[in-house]
A and B are shown apart, each in its own frame.
Chain A
């Protein structure tokens, strides 16, 4: 009986293991699979990401140069970024912030060749 005593005393003397979350946030690990971002100026709209995505949350319209992504359907597996032929799809380290409404991320690219002087737009 009472074998837990030493453990609870140790806990009392040490810092708590929990964090006051929104106030203190642990930095993400380097390898963490966070939000999917597409540099639409580099994207070639090849559509490989849309084909490979296991949750089919990406749709690519080649003619209209539209790339849309449903973050609430995404499972964060990172396959799309892995298979991306142009290297425009990147998986960020940080998670997407919570939102009040489900919404699609729709990115419109230029149908003309990419201009590298523009600042990259991320979504």
Chain B
């Protein structure tokens, strides 16, 4: 994959993102990949003059991730999308659709997950996996 990849944890995600913003990177998007029944992977993509930089965050399915939308406003849309499709909850979202961006209000499942997951309330918060 083009560009450098950095593995990060829940605790230094916001710090890294802020640093990347200061360096003049543009927010591209976040990709969510389902690894197995427990782990999910969030890939944050940034770009500066066509040089990509990726942050790789491994996260447990029932964890809440901090939202980077206070740093990059544009991230609110994709974070809401991940909330809807993969069921990972974000906290601190600037605009929170509460899983209604694509879904109806009463949907509890995450349609993009291969392993059928019904939404539960998150058990851990900002804990390094």
- CB–CB under 8 A between A and B in the complex? no
